[in-house]
Each structure stands twice: as C-alpha cells, then as structure tokens.
Amino acid sequence: MTLSILLSIGLGILAGMTFLPESIAPYMDIFTTIALNILILFVGIDIGMNKHIFKDIKKHGALLFLIPGMIVLGSVVGSYITGLIMNIESNLSLAIGSGFGWYSLSGILLTKLHTAEVGAISFMTNVFREIYAILLIPFLAKYLNDYTTIAPAGAASMDTMLPLVSRYTNPEVVVISFFNGVVLSALVPILVPFFYALK
C-alpha cells in the first residue's frame, strides 16, 4: 500500500512536470474534487455500516477535543523552534505553523498578510506536511496507536488524508479524524492572522 501511495503521487508529479499540458491545470482541481468526494462517500458508507460507532466514540470522548488541541500545541512548538533555527521572526513562524496542513488557505492568507514569498513558504510547509502524513500514517498505526495517525494529517484529516486514516485504522478513529479536521480548519483563518499580529 505504501509503495502504491508513493508511486501514484510520484507519477503524478512526473506527469505534471513532463507531458501534461498546462491548460489541463484548472481541470486537475475539478478531477481532484470529484475523486475526493467519491472517496469520502465510501468512507461514509464504512462509518454508517458500523452500528456501535457512537458508543465507541463516547468511550474516548475526551480525545475529540484533546487531539486537535495537541496538534495546535505541537505545531506552535515546532514552528517556534523552526523560527529560531531559520532566524525568522516568531510572529511570522507561528503564523506559518498555524496552517495545520491546509495549504490552499494558509498560503493565500499569508500572501495577503505579508508577502508572496512567505505565502509560498507556508504553502510548501503544508505540502510537505501532507507528504509526511502520507508516509507516516501506516507506520504510526502499526507502531504507536491509531489516534496518532491524525497528528501529521492536521486539518487535512477531514478530507484528503481521511481515506488513508480509514485504511489503516477503524471507523471510530475516522469519525474523530473528521471532527479534528473540522476544528483545525476553523482555527486556520483565526490563528494565522492572530499569530501574525503578535509582535
């Protein structure tokens, strides 16, 4: 599975760089959206078939809020340290870290707030975060625990990374993962400008 994941993203990048015409770019977005929605539909069917899922979630109810909270904490700590290493002002580094993997939004936000370069850094940060999620989810499920697969996915745990979480864990974790994505996605447009305004 991990190999086919790497192969499909690698072949995609290669195809985009070489033979795919640039005129196809806007359609790629539509194609991604359609593929994603069909996928989420099947993830939903999996959840719906699981009759005692809400009882399972109640058992670990605290995790519903603890997981997004810990991802925010981890992202803040991680981006603060990165700022120190790379010599970037801490308000800027914290704002970059608050994208939580949602590259389309945080990149645009920071381009508008600051410069296109910082927007691009934020975009790349979240692209790499998503690549980390793709690579790490199978290993986290195997060696740590199912809930930890949500951590690298960040805000993408509700959409692009949800099928991966679903494949390696169980429907209870999928519901928590979805909820985590909703909470983090709501926080991105709040926390990015908030941290940026701190001087």
Q: What is the footprint of other proteins within residues 66-95 (CB under 8 A)?
A: 66-67, 70-71, 73-75, 77-79, 81-82, 85-86, 88, 93
Q: Does 122 bind other proteins (CB under 8 A)?
A: yes
**How far is the C-alpha of 148 from the C-alpha of 151, rounded, in Å?**
5
Of 109, 110, 129, 141, which one interacts with other proteins (CB under 8 A)? 129
> Binding pattern to other proteins, positions 13-32, x when CB under 8 A?
xxxxxx-x-x-xx--xx-xx
Q: Does 186 bind other proteins (CB under 8 A)?
A: no
Q: Does 126 bind other proteins (CB under 8 A)?
A: yes
State which residue, 34 or 197, has the beta carbon closest to other proteins: 34
CB of 160 to other proteins, least distance (A): 7
CA angle 87, 151, 173 (to 5 degrees): 170
Residues with Cβ within 8 Å of 38's Cβ and at least 6 positions away in sequence, in order, are: none
Q: What is the footprint of other proteins within residues 158-177 (CB under 8 A)?
A: 158-160, 163-164, 166-167
CB 143 within 8 A of CB 163: no
140 alpha-carbon distance from chain centroid: 15
Q: Does 194 bind other proteins (CB under 8 A)?
A: no
**How far is the C-alpha of 6 from the C-alpha of 56, rounded, in Å?**
32
CB of 115 to other proteins, least distance (A): 11
State which residue, 64 or 193, has the beta carbon closest to other proteins: 64
CB 140 within 8 A of CB 124: no
34 alpha-carbon distance from chain centroid: 18
**How far is the C-alpha of 165 from the C-alpha of 90, rounded, in Å?**
32
Q: Does 155 bind other proteins (CB under 8 A)?
A: no
